[in-house]
């Protein structure tokens, strides 16, 4: 469904509105207890029958309904979808709540119950969640009792409000329950919604800070605590656990996490080589399109005979043609330009998770393109390093490691628009670095010779060499950025199964099933789905779908 959403989001603009309407019609027809083949979904949405391919597991109706709602929102964000596209009445959340005389929280609950929402541009030129009159009428027809019950809801009387506060004080004094637990218990006793009770308690604490029932909720979290919460979340600690640990609501924990993700993006050193074509109309489709294909087979060079097998394998990666190289550098710098442009719009007072996730996805895609360029040029480092190897204490491994750093810096600074080959620029940068580092290293070793350098086993060093090797903190930072795009349960399953929590201890699928109270097979399905999402996110040969 994720692939389908991305393909539809880059389809013809004149068709996307129709896809949205069709997706809503299909959503209403889906039975949560039934399963549906993907081919059926594609046909109902597009009118085309997909060609037979790999067998795909049938989609459970309940999950398909959620996916269709997400697909609708993704399609809405892919173009300027305005309320003027329809002649019927269109509500935003506040207007719909006023129309039915209910709270906006009730509207949110209706959305979870089947009310189809879109995201549209209103006359004030702001994009907000929207509800067509037909969507409202359909929900009202299918859930009349729920709508009527919500409309009959009455606000708490002063006496009822005092009773809520009295019970909350008593529970807070004699138990260590968090706000959510207290609200749930009181709501069950007084036959009120949990959100109403929670709001009443929070409002009391705000108006009477000296008599606050949960004073810690009114105190802002310091920066150190925010960092701890964010790192705990990245290590796989569930939001519900963090909420109980710090006596906060889950919503406030999510706000902290999103704010820290935004701060990390704003503090990032994001340099790129600017080009005027980045601002042209249609630049996204042109610069992020498929790489040009060469008519010639990929150029391979036979590796030197005396190279270790690992380094010799680098020569199996085909060299890039001039147009392919230009395309990758354009794409790499344009992705960073987009990320930098979007992050300048971040408002730390109102951080939107979708905006942060979009910027992170762009940066991950840029990193994948950079790695593709580096892999195609690693043999250049080996070739130059061999020429500077004099048989002294400084081994080939150290020279290659030093040269790789020069290659990475060259990728960052290379201006593709000048028409030069990157290999020329990179060779100059690597040799210039060797001209400084090799004499300095020889001088240092000459002064501090210990007599033991000859015992170094260079071959062992070469056997363990990895040209893509980075520091552990760098790996952890990249891993956290990628895992943040998964759902909490997907992230916890991958972290638990592969031992990514920093302790190195892994759990079996059966153990994870018991932990989440689901079957072993369900854990396997979630893991496969999560790995598929990561492969799509990191695929260097696929253009990032901009909205």
Give pLDDT tens digits for 216-272.
666 677 888 888 898 888 888 888 888 878 877 777 888 889 899 999 899 888 888
Strand order in the sheet with 127-132: 90-92, 127-132, 118-121
Q: How many CB atoms are located within 10 Å of the residue 258 CB?
A: 20
Q: How many CA atoms lie within 13 A of 398 on its CB side?
A: 16
Percent of the chain with pLDDT over 90: 10
Q: Please report where in the chains the tokens 């020329």 appear, as a residue.
A: 424
Structure tokens at 320: 């890039």
Mean pLDDT over all residues of the chain?
Answer: 79
- Which of 386, 377, 441, 368 is closest to 404 using CA atoms? 377
> Looking at residue 537, what is its pLDDT?
66
Does residue 337 surpass a pLDDT of 90?
A: yes
Q: Is 196 exposed, middle or buried (0-12, 13-18, 19+ CB in 10 A)?
A: buried
Q: Is 462 exposed, middle or buried (0-12, 13-18, 19+ CB in 10 A)?
A: middle
118-152 per-position pLDDT tens digit:
999 999 888 899 999 999 999 989 888 888 877 66
CATH of domain 277-292+300-446+457-463: 1.20.120.1810
> Looking at residue 190, what is its pLDDT?
85
Residue 443's pLDDT band (cuts 50, 70, 90): very low
> Looking at residue 439, what is its pLDDT?
57
> Looking at residue 502, what is its pLDDT?
65
Residue 132 DSSP symbol:
E
- Measured N-to-C along each axis, helices 13-29 and 38-46 cross at an angle, to the nearest 10 degrees, of 130
Question: What is the fold of 223-267?
Answer: Arc Repressor Mutant, subunit A (1.10.10)
Residue 504's pLDDT band (cuts 50, 70, 90): low
- Report how far apart, in Å, the C-alpha atoms of 443 and of each of 381, 387, 399, 454 are: 23, 19, 16, 16
Q: How many CB atoms are located within 10 Å of the residue 151 CB?
A: 11
Instruction: State how far the Cα of 248 lies from the Cα of 227, in Å rounded to an integer.
Output: 15
- When pLDDT is averaged across residues 506-533 and rounded to a whole number, the result is 86
184-210 per-position pLDDT tens digit:
888 888 888 787 888 888 888 888 888
CATH of domain 472-538: 1.10.10.10
R_g over Cα of the chain: 29
- When pLDDT is averaged across residues 508-514 and rounded to a whole number, the result is 86
Q: Is 95 exposed, middle or buried (0-12, 13-18, 19+ CB in 10 A)?
A: middle
């Amino acid at each position: 469904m994720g692939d389908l959403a991305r393909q539809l989001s880059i389809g013809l603009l004149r068709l996307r509105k129709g896809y949205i309407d069709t997706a809503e019609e299909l959503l209403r027809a889906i039975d949560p207890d039934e399963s549906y083949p993907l081919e059926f979904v594609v046909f109902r949405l597009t009118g085309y029958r997909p060609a037979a391919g790999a067998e795909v597991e049938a989609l459970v109706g309940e999950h398909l309904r959620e996916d269709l709602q997400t697909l609708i929102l993704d399609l809405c964000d892919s173009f300027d979808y305005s309320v003027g596209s329809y002649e019927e009445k269109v509500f935003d959340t506040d207007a719909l709540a006023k129309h039915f005389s209910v709270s906006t929280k009730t509207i949110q609950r209706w959305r979870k119950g089947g009310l189809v929402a879109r995201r549209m541009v209103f006359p004030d030129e702001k994009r907000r969640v929207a509800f067509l009159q037909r969507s409202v009428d359909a929900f009202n027809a299918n859930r009349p009792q729920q709508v009527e019950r919500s409309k009959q809801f009455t606000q708490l009387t002063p006496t009822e409000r005092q009773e809520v506060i009295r019970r909350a004080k008593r529970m807070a004094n004699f138990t260590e329950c968090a706000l959510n637990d207290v609200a749930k218990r009181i709501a069950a006793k007084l036959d009120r919604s949990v959100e109403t009770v929670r709001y009443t308690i929070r409002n009391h604490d705000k108006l009477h800070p000296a008599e606050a029932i949960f004073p810690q909720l009114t105190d802002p979290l310091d920066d150190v605590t925010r960092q701890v919460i964010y790192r705990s979340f990245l290590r796989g600690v569930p939001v519900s656990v963090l909420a109980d640990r710090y006596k906060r609501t889950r919503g406030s924990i999510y706000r902290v996490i999103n704010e820290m993700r935004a701060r990390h993006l704003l503090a990032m050193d994001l340099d790129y080589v600017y080009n005027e074509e980045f601002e042209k109309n249609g630049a996204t489709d042109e610069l992020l399109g498929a790489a040009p294909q060469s008519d010639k087979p990929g150029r391979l060079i036979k590796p030197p005979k005396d190279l270790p097998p690992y380094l010799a394998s680098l020569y199996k990666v085909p060299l890039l043609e001039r147009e392919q190289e230009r395309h990758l550098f354009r794409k790499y710098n344009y992705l960073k330009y987009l990320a930098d442009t979007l992050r300048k719009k971040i408002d730390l007072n109102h951080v939107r998770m979708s905006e942060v996730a979009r910027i992170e996805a762009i940066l991950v895609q840029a990193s994948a393109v950079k790695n593709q360029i580096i892999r195609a040029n690693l043999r250049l480092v080996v070739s130059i390093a061999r020429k500077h190897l004099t048989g002294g204490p400084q081994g080939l491994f150290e020279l290659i490691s030093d040269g790789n750093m020069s290659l990475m810096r060259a990728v960052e600074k290379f201006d593709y628009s000048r028409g030069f080959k990157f290999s020329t620029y990179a060779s100059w940068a690597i040799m210039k670095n060797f001209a400084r580092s090799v004499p300095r290293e020889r001088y240092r070793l000459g002064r501090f010779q210990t007599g033991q350098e000859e015992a170094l086993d260079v071959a062992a060093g070469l056997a363990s060499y990895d040209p893509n090797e980075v520091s552990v903190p760098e790996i952890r930072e990249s891993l956290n950025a990628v895992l943040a795009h998964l759902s909490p349960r997907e992230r916890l399953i991958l972290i638990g199964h592969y031992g990514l929590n920093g302790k190195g201890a892994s759990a079996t699928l059966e153990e994870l099933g018991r932990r989440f109270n689901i079957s072993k097979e369900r854990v396997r399905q979630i893991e496969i789905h999560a790995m598929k999402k990561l492969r799509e996110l990191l695929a260097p040969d696929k253009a990032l779908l901009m909205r």
